[in-house]
Structure 1
């Protein structure tokens, strides 16, 4: 359901497989633990097509709020149009940036970090 990698200060968390409401709390706690213990500069959440569900989108938005509280930029990666629409519809105007690939998300966040410096 959740895998992660760290590359040059970027934490990439991948949600994959079917994530149900009953799984959401455990996955959310693991996501928070990773963000807290890895101390990344920014976070990329990859939502695989198999993880697109109300619970999967809820996890993405929860991670976005968590990172926002800690002043850490977050981007979402998904190729599923349904997920892109759900994230945008539920996040409001301050929602996360959505990209098609992890590489694009890392570049996008890196540019944002450079502009903030």
Structure 2
């Protein structure tokens, strides 16, 4: 598969299916907001995927797959959405949307 077609995204607390040992559907549970960052960390730390490649999978690639040309990149004409991660952990320090900070940890 062409690497630019691989995406990683989160519905941030969407419903996730649960299955039993026989792989039969048994119900739904709420997704966790931090799961996207955990998977990014696993890609980088456990599988040796370079940070810049893993970030693209969760930003530019996902935006392109969803046909959102103003999302997933920092460039003139884009929406200026930005996620700032803590330096020493996979946790969100800040979230910027449309050029405005909408969340700051602490």
TM-score (norm 2): 0.33
Bigger Cα Rg: 2
